[in-house]
């Protein structure tokens, strides 16, 4: 339960409860994922995708939007690591550095954030 004091929701500790359980309440919301490709201090490319489906879990919506967003801004899909999950659960945003791409990229970082519409 969200009110359960055993769960440390404020720090994004979802290891014991599961990522999909942590985000289960957002299942019925539309998901808008916004991405910015940044080189030096300038936005090189940006885009967004929206998922209006109600039959998917938040995790599935996020995965589908993330892959679509990478296609939208014309970059390879980076590795999503534990750091990204923790940041995304806590702040609804995360960033991907050059080291997280399997291919060589010509930018410094890829930032994403989630909005509900």
The label of the residue with tokens 């990229």 reads 105
Q: Which long-range contacts (CB under 8 A, 24 or more apart) does 79-85 make?
A: 85/12, 85/14, 85/19
pLDDT of residue 86: 96
Name the residue ranges covered by the structural domains of the chain: 9-116
pLDDT tens, residue by residue, 62-111: 999 999 999 999 999 999 999 999 999 999 999 999 999 999 999 999 99
Residue 95 near residue 112 (C-beta atoms within 8 A): yes
To the nearest whole percent, how much of the chain has pLDDT over 90? 65
- Integer Cα distance of 56 and 40 in angstroms: 37
């Amino acid at each position: 339960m969200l009110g359960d004091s055993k769960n440390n929701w404020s720090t994004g500790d979802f290891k014991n409860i599961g990522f999909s359980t942590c985000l289960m309440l957002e299942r019925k919301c539309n998901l808008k994922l916004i991405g910015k490709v940044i080189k030096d201090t300038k936005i090189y490319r940006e885009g967004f995708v929206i998922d209006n489906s109600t039959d998917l879990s938040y995790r599935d919506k996020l995965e589908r939007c993330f892959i679509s967003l990478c296609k939208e801004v014309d970059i390879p899909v980076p590795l999503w690591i534990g750091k990204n999950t923790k940041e995304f659960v806590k702040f609804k945003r995360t960033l991907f550095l050059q080291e997280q791409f399997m291919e060589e990229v010509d930018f410094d970082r890829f930032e994403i954030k989630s909005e509900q519409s």
